[in-house]
Copies of this chain bind each other. A is one copy, B any other.
Amino acid sequence: MTLQQAPSGTPRQKEYRILRDADLRAYLAGIPALAARLGGSPDGWVITEVGDGNLNLVFIVRGGEAGLAVKQALPYVRLVGESWPLPLSRSHYEYLALTHQARLAPGLVPAVFHQDEALALVAMELLEPHIILRRGLVSGTRYPHFVDHITTFMARTLFLSSDLAVAAAQKKEGIAAFCGNHALCKITEDLIFTEPYCQAEQNRWTSPWLDATAASFREDLELHVAISRLKLKFLSRPEALIHGDLHTGSIMVTDSDTRVIDPEFAFYGPIGFDVGAILANLVMSCLASAGHERAPGERRSFEAWVLETTEQVWTEFARKFVGLWRAGSAGDAYPAALFEGPAGQARLEAERQAYMGRLFRDTVGFAAAKIIRRILGLAHNIDFELIDDPKLRATCEARSLRLARSMMLDASSFPTIGAVTKAASELRDWQPDFSR
């Protein structure tokens, strides 16, 4: 827990406490910039707690003139309760990440108006009429600007915090600044890279249909080696400042606007982890879609849009990432002095493509890990959870698991994003044999 340091010798002026309605009202009224932004009398402000995530309190505050979103970390995991403590310092790292992302990718994160370290609280722009992208996708809505926005967000935040863009000394300062966020990393290490592959109390899946599949994932030693290699990359490759939880539930959208929220898992990690998260969640959205049909085939064209979007996310991300690199890399990697003249430039361009090839392989692996954890691990997603018929849900999940398993084990079969979407498309009508 990071606290504002009070002058030594005097008692701390602020201690953490959970803010409830009246307390929050008084707190906000006491901060002139926030009170002015809300407008009108504090008595008239309407405060609603809306947090539907797993970790925090989220309040929407509506004043006479404008609204605010106020997020306060709890000293435990909200989903589980006080038995699972979690440091308040995550609010500090979320604030650091939000301000960093706002600099690198302007307009693609909520504006932050106020931060209070002691209260583990951040007050930010109320995003209206945005909804969580995942909800939009479940309802079959298409977002024509999503590809452009999310690939700009990823290319800029990832490239511009990497060794391609930042001098080593500055990057090491960044790494050090986020090392303290290890409790959040640990959640990822356990829930994504470990528990789905072994007996763990928190695991759940659509039983009994997926019982045999879940057991096979717990017994498949090739898969255990593959996930362990990915975990080692997550542990030991601070390539860039990653969001760390970049699924479709961490993105708010309208027809024309896209905002990435909730970067409390941010740290310097492998670039492919963020990109893989987006791809995985789009693939799951596509393969869950059949479960939301009211009439057979009703959502086929939406699914085609999702797969097209999946392809474009990678190709546009890669195009923008390489474009930033071509425009000039101020980082210490690939020094310009080694690639001078037309021949040097041509060789460097070939190496950029090779770099993206290596990054794509990482990305496919991390995407597979993200799919598996949502079906066999603790935290599931509404793409599948909102499918009422459990056998139909299990069918959609089994298709996703089959794809994820081959993505993780057989990277050479997925040299391009087209190979991923083709495999997803072919699984659309595959019927798992639940009689095993």
Chain A residues at the B interface, C-beta cutoff of 8 Å: 8, 162-163, 168-169, 171-173, 175-176, 179-180, 182-183, 185-186, 189, 194, 197-200, 221-222, 224-225, 227-228, 231-232, 235-239, 332-335, 337-340, 343-344, 347-348, 351
Q: Which of B176, B183, B334, B351 lies in contact with A175, CB distance below 8 A?
A: B176
For the complex, what is the distance from the CA of A175 to the CA of B185, rounded to whole Å?
15
Residues of chain B within 8 A (CB-CB) of A338 are 194, 197-198, 224, 227-228
Residues of chain B within 8 A (CB-CB) of A198 are 335, 337-338, 340
Given known contacts A225-B347, A332-B235, A337 and B8 CB-to-CB distance under 8 angstroms:
no
Residues of chain B within 8 A (CB-CB) of A344 are 221, 224
Question: Which 3 A-B residue pairings sit nearest by Cβ, starting from the closest?
Answer: A176-B179, A169-B182, A221-B347
Q: Which of B183, B231, B335 lies in contact with A194, CB distance below 8 A?
A: B335
For the complex, what is the distance from the CA of A338 to the CA of B348, rounded to whole Å?
40
Given known contacts A179-B175, A180-B176, A228-B351, A168 and B235 CB-to-CB distance under 8 angstroms:
yes
Q: Which of B176, B189, B197 lies in contact with A332, CB distance below 8 A?
A: B189
For the complex, what is the distance from the CA of A8 to the CA of B162, rounded to whole Å?
37
Given known contacts A239-B236, A338-B228, A168 and B182 CB-to-CB distance under 8 angstroms:
yes
Count identical subunits in the complex.
2
For the complex, what is the distance from the CA of A251 to the CA of B203, rounded to whole Å?
51
Report the minimal beta-carbon distance from A231 to chain B, rounded to whole angstroms. 6
A–B pairs, 24, beta carbons within 8 Å? A162-B236, A168-B189, A171-B235, A173-B179, A175-B176, A175-B179, A175-B238, A179-B179, A194-B335, A194-B338, A198-B337, A198-B340, A221-B339, A222-B347, A228-B335, A228-B338, A231-B332, A232-B334, A235-B333, A236-B237, A236-B238, A236-B239, A236-B333, A237-B237
Given known contacts A168-B186, A238-B238, A221 and B179 CB-to-CB distance under 8 angstroms:
no
Considering the complex, give the chain B residue whose CB is closest to the CB of A198: B337
For the complex, what is the distance from the CA of A200 to the CA of B182, rounded to whole Å?
41
Considering the complex, give the chain B residue whose CB is closest to the CB of A238: B236
